[in-house]
Structure 1
Amino acid sequence: MTVSSPVRFPDASSRSTMTRRAWWLVGFNILLPGSAQLLAGDRRLGRFGVVATFILWALAILSLVLFFAWRPAVYAVVTNVIGLTAIQVALVFYIVLWIVLTVDTLRLARLVRVGPTARWLVAALAVAVLIGVGGTANYGVVVTGATRDAIATIFASGQAAEAVDGRYNVLLLGGDAGPDRLGLRPDSISVVSVEASTGKATMVGIPRNLERTPFSEGSPLYGPFPDGYDCGDECLISYLYTYGEEHPDLYPDAEAEGSNPGIEAMRDAVEGTLGITLQYYVLIDMQGFSDLIDALGGIEITVAEELPIGINGGPVVGTIEAGTQTMDGTTALWYARTRYNMTDYERMVRQRDVQVAVIAQFEPANVLTKFQAVAEAGAQVVRSDVPQAALGYFVDLASKTKDLPIATVELIPANGVVVERPDFDRIHQMVDTALAPTPESE
Structure 2
Amino acid sequence: MPPATPSGAHQMRFTTLDRAQRVRFRRAVTLMLMTLVLPGSAQLVSGNRRTGRIALRTWATLVVLGLGTLVASFFFHGVAFWAGTNTMVLQGLRIALMVLAVGWAYLFVDAWRLGQPLSLRRQHRLAIVGVNGFLCFSVAGALLFGAHVVGVQRDFMISMFGNGTAVGAHQGRYNVLLMGGDAGAGRWGLRPDSMTVASIDAETGKTVLISLPRNMQNFPFAEGSVMAEQFPDGFDEEGMYLNGLATWALDHAALFKGSKNPGVDATIQGVEGITGLKMNYWAMVNLEGFKDLVDAVGGVELNVRQKIPVGLPSDSFFHYIEPGKRTLNGADTLWFARARYDSDDYSRMARQKCVMGAMLQQVSPQTAVTNFQKIARASEAMVSTDIPRGEVDTFVDLALKARNQKIATLSLVPPMINTANPDIALVQQKVAAAIARAEGVKPPAQETAEAAPAEEAPPTEAPATDAPAEETPAAKPSPPAPVAPQSVTGGSVGSMAEGYAANESEDLGAVC
Using structure 1 for the length normalisation, give the TM-score. 0.90
What number of residue pairs does the alignment pair up? Answer: 424
Q: What is the letter of the counterpart of residue 423 of structure 1?
A: D
Q: Percent identity?
A: 36
Q: Note the alpha carbon deviations across 1:129-162, whole angstroms, 9 max, x for none.
A: 3333333322221221111111111111133111
Instruction: Confirm whether residue 140 of structure 1 aligns to residue 146 of structure 2.
Output: yes
Instruction: Confirm whether residue 349 of structure 1 aligns to residue 350 of structure 2.
Output: yes
Which residue of structure 2 lines up, in the alignment, with residue 326 of structure 1?
327
**Residue 431 of structure 1: how far off its partner (Å):** 0.7
Alpha-carbon distance in structure 1 between the residues aligned to 2:342 and 2:18: 86
Which residue of structure 2 lines up, in the alignment, with residue 104 of structure 1?
110
Aligned partners of 2:82 and 2:393 also within 8 Å: yes
More displaced 10-residue stretch of structure 1: 71-80 or 146-155: 71-80
Aligned partners of 2:164 and 2:386 also within 8 Å: no
The 5 A counterparts of 1:27-46 are 27-46=33-52
Instruction: Confirm whether residue 160 of structure 1 aligns to residue 166 of structure 2.
Output: yes
Alpha-carbon distance in structure 2 between the residues aligned to 1:362 and 1:132: 30
Which residue of structure 2 lines up, in the alignment, with residue 7 of structure 1?
none
**1:47 counterpart (39, 43, 53):** 53
Alpha-carbon distance change, 20 to 239 in structure 1, aligned in 2, over 3 angstroms: same
Aligned partners of 1:174 and 1:283 also within 8 Å: yes
Which residue of structure 1 lines up, in the alignment, with residue 240 of structure 2?
235
Structure 2 unmatched runs, 5+? 1-16, 442-512
Alpha-carbon distance in structure 2 between the residues aligned to 1:81 and 1:165: 30
**Residue 16 of structure 1: how far off its partner (Å):** 2.7
Which residue of structure 2 lines up, in the alignment, with residue 396 of structure 1?
397
The 5 A counterparts of 1:30-429 are 30-114=36-120, 118-178=124-184, 184-231=190-237, 233-255=238-260, 260-311=261-312, 317-414=318-415, 416-429=416-429
Alpha-carbon distance in structure 1 between the residues aligned to 2:189 and 2:26: 73
Alpha-carbon distance change, 136 to 183 in structure 1, aligned in 2, over 3 angstroms: closer
* SS of match in other structure, 1:435: helix
**Residue 279 of structure 1: how far off its partner (Å):** 0.3
Aligned partners of 2:32 and 2:42 also within 8 Å: yes
Aligned partners of 1:283 and 1:383 also within 8 Å: yes
* Structure having the higher Rg: 2
Using structure 2 for the length normalisation, give the TM-score. 0.78
Aligned partners of 1:220 and 1:250 also within 8 Å: yes
Alpha-carbon distance in structure 2 between the residues aligned to 1:194 and 1:120: 62
Alpha-carbon distance change, 70 to 177 in structure 1, aligned in 2, over 3 angstroms: closer
**Residue 180 of structure 1: how far off its partner (Å):** 9.4
Alpha-carbon distance in structure 1 between the residues aligned to 2:102 and 2:257: 49
**Residue 12 of structure 1: how far off its partner (Å):** 12
Alpha-carbon distance in structure 1 between the residues aligned to 2:317 and 2:26: 74
Which residue of structure 1 lines up, in the alignment, with residue 478 of structure 2?
none
Q: What is the letter of the counterpart of residue 251 of structure 1?
A: F
**Higher RCO, 1 vs 2 (CA within 8 Å, ≥6 residues apart):** 1
**Residue 217 of structure 1: how far off its partner (Å):** 2.3
**Residue 97 of structure 1: how far off its partner (Å):** 0.9
* SS of match in other structure, 2:384: strand
Instruction: Confirm whether residue 434 of structure 1 aligns to residue 440 of structure 2.
Output: no
- RMSD of aligned alpha carbons: 2.3
Alpha-carbon distance in structure 2 between the residues aligned to 1:207 and 1:314: 27
Alpha-carbon distance in structure 1 between the residues aligned to 2:196 and 2:410: 10
More displaced 10-residue stretch of structure 1: 239-248 or 120-129: 120-129
**Residue 311 of structure 1: how far off its partner (Å):** 4.8
